Amino acid sequence: MDVLERIGEQVKNNPVVIYMKGTPQFPQCGFSMRAAQALQQCELPFAYVNVLQDPEIFEHLPRFADWPTFPQIYIDGELVGGCDITLELHASGELKTLMEQAVAKSGAD
């Protein structure tokens, strides 16, 4: 499977997914850490991909949605953005709402 197809499958098959450096438990950069913490504080399930362990995704993800940096957060198949946008959405309460809607739509919880 082509790497962009693989990314597309991950985005489509997970209501919420974060592409980050490291894992939510052991982040490898400050931006990834803060974005993952915001997702965790919503207390809803989300998937993650450690881009440091997958060089193909690390190299090609910026082309997938024309977003050059990490982390990248996708909710309900759409790119939400990176760290700053995620933190703004979390502060306003909108992040949890978006996550709740995506999880409910997928039937996951």
- Within-domain flag for 103: no
What is the number of domains present in the chain? 1
- Within-domain flag for 82: yes
Give me the CATH number covering residue 35.
3.40.30.10
Q: Which domain holds residue 10?
A: 3-96
Is residue 42 marked as binding? Answer: no
The chain-wide mean pLDDT, for the chain, equals: 96
- Split at pLDDT 50, 70, 90, the class of 109 is low
Q: Are 95 and 36 in contact (CB under 8 A)?
A: no
CA torsion angle 43 87 22 98 (round to 10): 50
- Within-domain flag for 29: yes
Strands 78-81 and 47-50: unpaired
Answer yes or no: is pLDDT of 48 > 90. yes
- Split at pLDDT 50, 70, 90, the class of 89 is very high
**pLDDT at residue number 1:** 75
